[in-house]
Structure 1
Amino acid sequence: MQLILGSSSASRRQILSEMGYEFTVLSADIDEDIRIEKPEELVVALAHEKVVIHDGVIRKKPTTPEGASKFIQGYSQSHASTIGSVVVTNVKSCVRMEGWDKSEVYFHKIPDEVIDSLIEEGSVFYVAGGLLVEHPLTLPLVESIVGTMDSVMGLPKELTEKLIKASLQES
């Protein structure tokens, strides 16, 4: 079996490697600005994207320092949900399996100097919601996670394994 990860996400590569898989990365050039109101439907439609929900609003990747700052300040002493999808296609049988997973992240107060450092570093512009929970500056500020860290990072291991096995059984 040859496995292809259709995402350029470093977090997803890390998680799939941790699961013991060897794979090739082939990122799709897709328009991430499609408009779908239900986050569960949106992430499956994008199939490569993780969506962050804060106060009922879908947050994608911030595009400006001001936008990133606003996103991160909003998480301070609050929480956000991540909703991610996994789509597995068995190219031999053309069987496609898909699903989504949701986690909640609760934060302590996020100091302004941490926000400034994260924005200056720039990683906030490459992730949905503008915040890498696993980042060394962010992780100590996480109060709790309802769900799993791998789901928050964009590739829920349990769902991925389930879909891979199901797609192989259908061939």
Structure 2
Amino acid sequence: MDQLAQAFGFSYDVRKADIDEKAIRHDEPAQLVMALAHAKADAILTLLRSEAAAAGPGDRPGAGAGASADDSVAEASTSGGGGAAAAGGAAARPSFLITCDQVVVHEGLILEKPEDADQARAFIRGYARSPAQTVGSVLCTRLGGGSAGGGGGGDVRIGTVENCTILMDPLPEEAAEKLIEEGEVLWCAGGLMVEHPLVRPHVRGIEGGGEDSVMGLGREAVMRVLVEAAEAGADAP
């Protein structure tokens, strides 16, 4: 997200979506991750509007909209003339909320975060048997009223789903154990961390996207939904 913000001239804040992910279920991975992205957007919008009401007129909390990989949500607002959806002046500057979710699909099963070290170990070993696929949603909400608090109505939502296939060689046992000892894999869908220095040398290829997409926040997907939401908001009455 930092690279996007620098390249396209917008600022962003990160927020936490406090939802019960286990309460949202669906047999279809694409529909599951999109439902979770919508639930995160609803939760963050409630928080932003509560903050806006508490702050009062003219004291806007946060900069605008957001980006979320998995649990966290970032809010970002466009600024200047080179952003994805730049507005003419500060008062008219649009704000966007970007929420995301991702699962790993392997051998017909939807894998979310490992419950424990044993499950993480089983996930990691399985990826050498057959390729894993990441299914990730990116949802952009253009906030009505052009502020973090929104205007009560007028929000526009544009979403997309990315599918990537990861081809991996077997990960050495010592590398897998080191990953589990570090603990970060327990917070990743399927315990899959292609960007980790212990894992990257064993990734033979990624089909359907890049490493950023596998990590849960593909740059191209983010820019696409930002632009589409900005254009849809501009056309809205």
Question: Corresponding residue for 2:125?
Answer: 73
Aligned mate of 2:32, from 39, 42, 50: 42
Give 1 or 2 for the bigger CA radius of gyration: 2
Q: Secondary structure at the match of 2:222?
A: helix
> 1:50-61 counterparts in 2 under 5 A?
50-61=102-113
Verify the 8 A CA contact 1:77 1:110 in the aligned structure 2: no
TM-score of the superposed pair, with normalisation by structure 1: 0.87
Q: Percent identity?
A: 40
How far apart, CA to CA, are the structure 2 residues paired with 1:159 and 1:123? 25
Verify the 8 A CA contact 1:62 1:68 in the aligned structure 2: yes
Shift of 1:99: 1.1
Verify the 8 A CA contact 1:77 1:106 in the aligned structure 2: no
Q: After the TM superposition, which parts of structure 1 deviate over 4 Å for at least 4 consecutive aligned residues?
A: none
Aligned mate of 2:225, from 138, 163, 169: 163
Shift of 1:149: 1.1
Question: Corresponding residue for 1:95?
Answer: 156
RMSD: 1.1
How far apart, CA to CA, are the structure 2 residues paired with 1:121 and 1:76? 21
Verify the 8 A CA contact 2:101 2:138 in the aligned structure 1: no
User: What code does the residue aligned with 1:25 have?
Assistant: V
TM-score of the superposed pair, with normalisation by structure 2: 0.64
Shift of 1:77: 4.7
How far apart, CA to CA, are the structure 2 residues paired with 1:148 and 1:56? 22
How far apart, CA to CA, are the structure 1 residues paired with 2:179 and 2:32? 27
Residues 108-166 of structure 1 deviation map (CA, whole Å, 9 limit, x = unaligned): 11111111100001011111011211000000010111021111010121121111011
Verify the 8 A CA contact 2:135 2:163 in the aligned structure 1: yes
How far apart, CA to CA, are the structure 2 residues paired with 1:167 and 1:73? 40
User: What code does the residue aligned with 1:35 have?
Assistant: R
**Comparing both chains, which one has the higher relative contact order based on Cα–Cα distances under 8 Å and sequence gaps of 6 or more?**
1
Structure 1: gaps of 5 or more residues: 1-15
Number of equivalenced pairs: 156
Verify the 8 A CA contact 1:43 1:85 in the aligned structure 2: yes
Question: Corresponding residue for 1:108?
Answer: 169
User: What code does the residue aligned with 2:230 have?
Assistant: L
Question: Corresponding residue for 2:181?
Answer: 120
Question: Corresponding residue for 2:48?
Answer: none
